[in-house]
Amino acid sequence: MDGDFSLATHWTYLLLFLAGLAAGFIDSIAGGGGLISVPALLAVGLPPQLALGTNKMQSVWGTLLAVTRYAKAGLVEWREMRLVIAVTFGFSLLGTWAVTQVSNEWLKMVVPWLLLGIAVYALFSPSLGTKPVQARMSPWAFAWLGGVVLGFYDGFFGPGTGSFWTLGCVSLLGLELTKATGYTKMVNLTSNVASVLVFVVACSIVYEVAAVMVVGQLIGARLGSGMVIRHGAPFVRVVFLTVVFALVVKLLWDQFG
């Protein structure tokens, strides 16, 4: 842990708790909670590497709670997901290791435009994900495509992973948005656990900070997953579009601002 960092006041604890709560709420619905949690960790004095590791650790618990609730609501098909979980885990480990060896600068330039394409496509496709449709790819093929590409990407870079998974589930597997959200959260949990293992080995986690944020994460994830289960696809669509556009703005600002 960095020697200059200190949880000196109750306000710092409160900031971290609220950041975890907001991130857990957003993450459980459409991903993108790192837009809130990572800046909060940097704001209280953590250096970037510790902020990223601590963020992964705290986000795992909110995602786990969301997955549990989605599974109870019948939105996670465990048998169909065994292969994608295994592939995603392996390639997320590989991606997290790779980012310690090479630069991901080129992804920072490309990903915002890919996300913008997703946002525009979803915005002008109002029926997208409102009901199940014919799958364009078998679950086996999708598990390998998504697990290899997005598992590696989440470990290597990360922003927008949930959006890419959700769009893939809707457009390639033909899932309705609430089912796509359950699928996405399960594979997000898988890649997050893989990344956390790498960060634990690298001693890049501040556990007392993560603990404060986990409390907020669990509350936020419970609220967010409950909203998805109650309100379904229309609610997910609104949050999904909001998060994707926010990610585009954030990534372009980092690049050009």
pLDDT of 66-82, one tens digit each? 999 999 999 998 888 99
In a domain, 5, yes or no: no
For residue 21, what pLDDT band results from cuts at 50, 70 and 90?
A: very high
Task: Give the pLDDT of residue 137.
Answer: 93
Give the residue among 4, 72, 84 at the shortest CA–CA distance from 44. Answer: 4
pTM metric for this prediction = 0.87
Q: Considering the domain boundaries, does residue 200 fall inside one?
A: yes
Establish if 162 belongs to a structural domain.
yes
CA of residue 173 relative to chain centroid, distance: 20
In a domain, 62, yes or no: yes
Query: Any alpha helices (H) in the chain, and if so which ranges?
Result: 10-30, 34-43, 48-72, 78-99, 105-123, 139-156, 161-171, 177-201, 207-256
Query: Does 2 map to a domain?
Result: no
**pLDDT exceeds 60 at position 162:** yes
Q: Two tokens at 243?
A: 């998060």
Residue 235 resides in a domain: yes
Name the residue with tokens 């996405």.
184
Domain of 151, in residue numbers: 10-256
Q: Based on the structure, what is the number of domains in the chain?
A: 1
**166 lies in some domain:** yes
Q: Tell me the average pLDDT across 24-50.
A: 89
Domain membership flag for residue 1? no
